Structure 1
Amino acid sequence: MRRWLICLFMLLISLIAVSANAENWPAPDWSINTAPKTPALERLEAYAFPPRDDVERKGVRTDALLVIRDGQVIYERYAGETSAATAHLTWSISKSVMATVLGVASGQGRFQLDDPVAKFYKPMAEHPDIKLRDLLHWASGLDWQEDYEYAPLNSSVVAMLYTLGRSDMARFTAQHPRGSMPGIWFSYSSGDSNLLSAALKGMVGEQAYADYPWTALFDPLGVRGAVWETDAAGTFVGSSYAYMTARDLARVGLLMQRRGRWNDRQLLPEAWVKFVLTPFAGLNIHPGVEIPGGQWWLNHTWDGAHGPWPDAPRDTFAALGHWGQALYVIPSAGLVIVRYADDRDGSYDHDQLLKLALAAFGQRKGQ
C-alpha cells in the first residue's frame, strides 16, 4: 500500500511538472494571466498612454498595447476609437505578414528563393535578373523613392498608393527603371513588397489567390478578423493594407517566436524562418538604423553586432509600420508585443518602449 501511494505521488508530481512546462496556444482564444500593477508597469503606461492632444495630434498616441508572454495575455489596453475587436490598419506590418504567407507557399514547394520574379509575374520580364530573394531583402535595384507626406511630389510610394499606380501597384513598380544591380544594395521599397504579392498570385493561381492568405495562414492560426485590401487588378496591397486586431496579429508573432510551429504543425519551414530573420549584408546598411532581414527588422547585424535597439536583446525582431505600428518579438524573454498607434511627429522611440516593457514584463514566471 505504501509503495502504491509513493508511486501515485510521483505520478502526480510528474503530471504537475508537465503541466507547468506545457506550451500555451490560443485555441480558440488566448488564455489570460494578467501581470500585477507595478511601478515598472506604471512607467510603461505613462510613456505609451500620455494624455492626448486631439488638436495638435502630436506626440506618442498609442491605440493598443498588447503583451503576450509564453503564449498568455499578460497585459492589454486600448485607447481612442480602438478596441479589442478593431481590425486596425497595420501599414507596413503588412509586409512582414505577406512574407509569412509566402513562407507557407515556400513550404508547399511553390517557389525557390532564387527563382526570377518574372517566372511568376510576367511584367517583370524587363528585369529578368531580379530574384524573389532580392525582393524579400528590399534589394531589387529598381529606382524607387520611399518618401511619404514630407516629399509627396518625388515619392514613388505615394504615386503607387494614391495616384498613378493605384489601380495596378505591381505593374507600376515593374515599370521603374534599373537604379542598381539587384541583390547588392538595401533600399527600402514598398514597391518590392507589392511585386512579391503579385508573384504570389502567379505561384498559387488566380482562383486560389483571393483566399490564399486565409487558407494558408490566417485560418490555421485562428485569425478571425483580418481584412486585406486589393488594388483594382485584384492584387493584395502587400506593402500596406492589411487590417488585423491586436490579438490576431499577436498570433503571427507567436508563430514566428516558435520558429514557424503552431501547436503540433510546422506551418512555416524552419529554413524560411531562419532566412527571414537573417540580416541582409547589403553594403549600404549603416549603424543605428533598423537591420533588414526578409521583410522583417532585426536587432543584430550580419557580422554579429548589436542592432538599433540597445536596451533589447539581440534576438529581438519586429514588423514595423507607418505612424508607430509595431509587432515586436523577443524570443529570449518569451514576449510578443503588439502596438497600434497614431503617432505623427516622430517622437515615439522603439528602444524606449522595449526597455520599459522588458522592465515590466521581461521576467518569466519562476525566474
Structure 2
Amino acid sequence: MNKALLGLLLSLVFTSAPALSQEDWPVPDWPQAVDINSPAWRQVQAYAFPPRDEHSREGVRTDALLVIKEGRIVYEHYAAPTTARTPHLTWSISKSVLATVLGVAHSEARFALNDPVARFYPPMQAHPQVRLQDLLQWASGLDWQEDYEYAPLHSSVVAMLYTRGRGDMAAYTAARAVAAVPGQRFLYSSGDSNLLAAALRAMVGPERYAQYPWDALFTPLGITSAVWERDPSGTLVGSSYLYMSARDLARIGLLMLHDGRWQSQQVLAKDWVVFNRTLFAKAVTQPGEANPGGHWWLNQSLPGTGRPWPDAPADTFAALGHWGQALYVLPDEQLVVVRYADDRDGQFQHNELLKRVLAAQAGGRP
C-alpha cells in the first residue's frame, strides 16, 4: 500500500470516529462556561434576587445561586455579605451530606442497612427493632414534632437543638417514646439524623470520628470550606449544623450526579446512591412536598399524588434545608443547582426556580 493511500485511509478513520466525551471536574476549581450569566438567565435572576427590603423578613431572599451544567458554571450570583468563599449554614442539607458520609462507611463494610441502631449506639437498646435503614428513611417510629416557629413550646427539634436536649442530642432522641412500628411510617425527624451521627462514631472508632467526614468525603472531593459543629457530647450535629460554600456543596451534587463516582474513583457504591434515590413508598406527604428517599428528597410520585415539582424531570432529587437551602441534582439535564437563602415565609417555590433554570439552559450546553 502506498503512503498516499495509507494517509487517506487514516484520515477517514480519525475524522469519522465519534469524538470522545470529555468530563469537566472542579480540579482545583470549577471551570466556567464561555457565556456565564448570559441574558438567558434574566428570569432566573429576577425570581431568585428580587429587590430586597433589608427591614423585612418576607419574600424570596436568596444569598447564593449556583448552576452547574455538565461540570461547568453557567450561572453564579451572590447577595452580600455572602460570597463564593462563604461557608453558609446548610441547615437540613446536613442530613443528606451525613447520608453521603455514611455511604462511604457502608462501602467500607462498617455496617449494613438492616443492622439495629443499638449495635452502634447503646442508648437505643430501648428500641431494639429500629434499624439504620429506618433512620435513613425517617421512619424510626419514635415520637417527634419537627415544627420550629409554629409550635416552639411543643417542638422536639427546638428542644433538641436549643434547650434540654442540646447537651446530647442523640441521647435526647433515644429517650423519646414510641409512636409507630419502625419502618412503617414516615415522620420527618432531625432526631433520626442525629442518631445516625452518633452511630457513625462506633462504626469508624472514636479516634477517627471527628476527622472522618473530611477523610472519607470532603478531602477526596476537594472540599476545603466545610465546618461541622458538634454537640457537647462530641457528636456531629448531623441534622443541621454543617457550613459549606456553594461551590463546595456543588461538588457533592456532582458526585451524586455521577452515581457516586469522582473522576476515576468510585467514592460511593452505586447501590448506595440507588438507595438514596429510592422512594420510601410508605410515606404520606402533603401536595407539593418532596418525597423521601434514603435521607435525600425525590421528585417522584406517591400513590394518589403527582410529582412534587411537575416542571422538573422525574429523576430530579435534592438535599433541602430550613429557610430555603437547596442542592438540586437533575441527571437528565446534567445539572447541579445550589441555592442558599434566608426565606422566612412560604413565597419561594422549588418548582418555580427549577422551571426557570430549565428554561434558561434549554438550548443545551452553553
- What TM bracket, shorter-length normalisation? over 0.9
User: What corresponds to 2:345 in structure 1?
Assistant: 345
Residue in 1 that maps onto 2:11? 9
Quote how far apart the aligned CAs of 1:6 are: 2.9
Q: Which residue of 2 aligns with 1:164?
A: 164
Taking only the aligned residue pairs, the percentage that are identical comes to 60
| Structure 2 partner of 1:194 | 194
Letter of the structure 2 residue corresponding to residue 17 of structure 1? A
Partner of 1:260: 260
* Conservation of the 8 A alpha-carbon contact between 1:299 and 1:306: no
Q: Within 5 A, what are the aligned runs for 1:1-367?
A: 1-7=3-9, 9-10=11-12, 13=15, 17-18=19-20, 21-35=21-35, 40-301=40-301, 306-365=306-365
SS of corresponding position for 1:128: coil
1:322-348 deviations in whole A, cap 9, x for unaligned?
A: 110000000000000000011111210
Note the C-alpha offset of 1:27: 1.2
Determine if contact 1:334/1:364 at 8 Å carries over to the other structure: no
Question: Alpha carbons of 1:15 and 1:242: their partners in 2 closer, same or farther (altered >3 Å)?
Answer: farther
CA distance in structure 1 between the aligned counterparts of 2:136 and 2:178, rounded to whole angstroms: 17
Q: Say if 2:37 and 2:74, in contact at 8 Å, map to a contact too.
A: no
**SS in structure 2 at match of 1:85:** coil
Counterpart-to-counterpart distance in 2, 1:324 and 1:206: 34
Equivalent AA in structure 2 for residue 247 of structure 1: R
Residue 22 of structure 1 deviates from its aligned partner by: 1.2
Unaligned runs of 5+ in 2: none
Deviates more, 1:160-169 or 1:6-15: 6-15
- Tell me the distance in 1 between the aligned counterparts of 2:108 and 2:363: 37
The worse-fitting range, judged by mean Cα deviation, of 351-360 and 30-39 is 30-39
Q: Aligned residue pairs: how many? A: 364
CA deviations over 1:102-133 (Å, ceiling 9, x no partner): 00000000000000000000110100000000
Q: 1:362 to 1:100 in 2, by over 3 A?
A: farther
* CA distances 1:336-365 after superposition (whole Å, capped 9, x unpaired): 000001111121000000000000024433
Deviation by residue 1:69-111 (Cα, 9 ceiling, x = unmatched): 1111111111121000000000000000000000000000000
Q: Match for 2:88: what amino acid?
A: H
Q: State the TM-score, normalizing by the size of structure 2.
A: 0.95
After TM superposition, the structure 1 stretch with the greater mean CA deviation from structure 2, 36-45 or 266-275, is: 36-45
Q: Contact between 1:141 and 1:185, CA under 8 Å: does it hold in 2?
A: yes
Per-residue CA deviation, residues 21-55 of structure 1 (Å, 9 max, x unaligned), is 11111111111114466554111110001111111
Shift of the 73–214 alpha-carbon distance from structure 1 to 2, 3 Å rule, reads same
Cα distance 1:346–1:285, how it changes in 2: closer, same or farther (>3 A)? closer
Distance 2:50 2:288 in 1: 27
SS of the aligned residue for 1:31 comes to coil
Distance change in 2, residues 1:57/1:254 (3 Å):
same
2:345 and 2:77 mapped to 1: Cα distance? Answer: 22
CA contact (8 A) 2:37 2:75 kept: no
Native 8 Å contact 1:70 1:334 kept in 2: yes
Q: Classify the secondary structure of the residue corresponding to 1:64.
A: strand
Q: CA RMSD in A?
A: 1.8
CA distance in 1, matches of 2:290, 2:250: 21
Q: CA deviation at 1:287?
A: 4.2
C-alpha separation in 2, matches of 1:228 and 1:49: 28
**How far has the Cα of 1:293 moved from its partner?**
0.2
